[in-house]
């Protein structure tokens, strides 16, 4: 097949917010609250034009939008799923599932799939529910829809393949892992005829027909003394260029693998919690203190680092031509120079956090805020 809050229930999953709270409690006795970097004057060196706005409903979880051509499919935590035309921002279809969503969206341009807090995968087509399928555990990673199938990763560290037309379970692959699972989007994508999945600090290549493991590449090793310190789940989004897939292991490393040969190309220490973006030259991401770092894609050597937006709670970035776009916790979208991370421009949304990375659909950059605001911008 060729397919291109509280943290007491931590034995099941642990949110990034809970981990941040643990870290804050550890340091609050000896330090004051760290202030985010002040916004510097906006030079407006690169024009960026707001072209439309829409609304998806509050996004309390990092629900990643998906792009198919010029269509953006996205979800709100309240159960709203919608497909928008990226040029106009108008709805192509919209449906309310009447159940909260914890992971989404996956789509192949025709079928869309999300995961609800009722532990169900829901598949839709043109706003119509096709089927629902119960999962063995909660899912936080957007499903992958490819090759007439829907693939899902769940918090019990299993991968399940479902028939795209009926939802019938085709196979399940489960591996042992650490006691904790990060309550955040993980790694699940297709590279040629291989299903690429993140499990703890491993990148696995699975046969999509039956779930057997083709290769296992280790990019992060757990070294902690307790369950929290040992948590090194891979987080999305990843940066893929051809066979090269680069991913972040939570608060541990950034590394790249060859997803055809199953070989680790490089792995570098990096303390961060959000995903990556990049191109054929570089991979870029934000550290835990929101220092932006660019790594050479070929060997992992650092190209530059910037503390311009330190402690501003950055999203995953979007590398676009000569610009780097990244959202922050106050609703600002920053356009930076890819060569130096110097500020080119800054545009405002609704003042709430941009918790997922901006995406490009056609010529439009689409940004989603935690209040559910959806914004289309066109950089000149």
Query: Would 40 be classed as within a structural domain?
Result: no
Query: Would 117 be classed as within a structural domain?
Result: yes
Query: pLDDT of 108-127, one tens digit each?
Result: 999 999 999 999 999 999 99
Number of structural domains, the chain? 1
Long-range contacts of 333-337 (CB under 8 A, 24+ apart): 333/358, 333/365, 333/367, 333/375, 333/377, 334/309, 335/46, 335/48, 335/379, 336/292, 336/306, 336/308
Query: Would 32 be classed as within a structural domain?
Result: no
Query: Would 4 be classed as within a structural domain?
Result: no
Assigned token pair, 142: 């957007």
Cis link prior to 280 (omega < 30° from 0)? no
254: domain range?
Answer: 14-27+46-379
* Sign of the dihedral through C-alpha 340, 342, 345, 350: positive
Query: Would 9 be classed as within a structural domain?
Result: no
Query: Would 5 be classed as within a structural domain?
Result: no
CATH number at residue 93: 2.130.10.10
pLDDT digit of tens for each residue in the chain (380 aa)? 444 322 223 334 544 444 443 343 334 444 467 899 999 999 999 999 999 999 999 998 778 899 999 999 999 999 999 999 999 999 999 999 999 999 989 999 999 999 999 999 999 999 999 999 999 899 999 999 999 999 999 988 899 999 999 999 999 998 776 666 778 899 999 999 999 999 989 999 999 999 999 999 999 987 766 767 777 899 999 999 999 999 999 989 999 999 999 999 999 999 999 999 999 999 999 999 999 999 999 999 999 999 999 999 999 999 999 999 999 999 999 999 999 999 999 999 999 999 889 999 999 999 999 999 999 999 98
Query: Would 125 be classed as within a structural domain?
Result: yes
Q: What is the pTM for the complete model shown?
A: 0.90
Query: Would 8 be classed as within a structural domain?
Result: no
């Amino acid at each position: 097949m060729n397919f291109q809050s509280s943290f007491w229930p931590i034995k099941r999953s642990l949110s990034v917010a809970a981990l941040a709270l643990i870290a804050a409690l550890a340091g609050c006795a000896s330090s004051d609250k760290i202030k985010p970097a002040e916004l510097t004057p906006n030079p407006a060196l690169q024009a960026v034009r707001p072209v439309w706005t829409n609304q998806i409903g509050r996004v309390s979880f990092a629900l990643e939008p998906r792009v198919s051509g010029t269509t953006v499919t996205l979800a709100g935590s309240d159960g709203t799923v919608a497909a928008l035309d990226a040029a106009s921002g108008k709805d192509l279809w919209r449906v309310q599932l009447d159940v909260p969503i914890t992971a989404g969206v996956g789509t192949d341009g025709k079928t869309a799939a999300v995961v609800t807090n009722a532990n169900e995968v829901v598949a839709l087509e043109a706003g119509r529910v096709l089927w629902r399928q119960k999962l063995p555990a909660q899912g936080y990673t957007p499903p992958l829809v490819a090759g007439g199938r829907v693939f899902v990763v769940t918090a019990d560290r299993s991968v399940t393949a479902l028939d795209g037309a009926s939802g019938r379970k085709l196979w399940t692959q489960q591996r042992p892992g650490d006691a904790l699972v990060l309550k955040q989007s993980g790694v699940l994508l297709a590279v040629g005829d291989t299903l690429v999945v993140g499990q703890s600090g491993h990148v696995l290549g699975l046969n999509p027909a039956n779930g057997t493991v083709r290769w296992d590449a280790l990019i992060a090793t757990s070294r902690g003394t307790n369950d929290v310190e040992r948590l090194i789940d891979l987080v999305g989004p990843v940066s893929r260029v051809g066979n090269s897939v680069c991913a972040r292991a939570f608060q541990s490393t950034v590394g790249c693998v060859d997803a055809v040969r199953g070989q680790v190309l490089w792995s570098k220490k990096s303390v961060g919690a959000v995903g990556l973006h990049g191109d054929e030259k570089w991979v870029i991401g934000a550290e835990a203190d929101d220092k932006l770092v660019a790594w050479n894609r070929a060997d992992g050597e650092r190209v530059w680092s910037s503390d311009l937006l330190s402690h501003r709670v950055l999203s995953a970035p979007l590398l676009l031509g000569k610009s780097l776009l990244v959202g922050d916790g106050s609703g600002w979208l920053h356009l930076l120079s890819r060569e130096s991370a110097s500020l080119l421009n800054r545009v405002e949304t609704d003042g709430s956090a941009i918790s997922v990375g901006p995406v490009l659909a056609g010529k439009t950059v689409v940004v989603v805020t935690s209040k559910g605001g959806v914004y289309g911008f066109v950089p000149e």
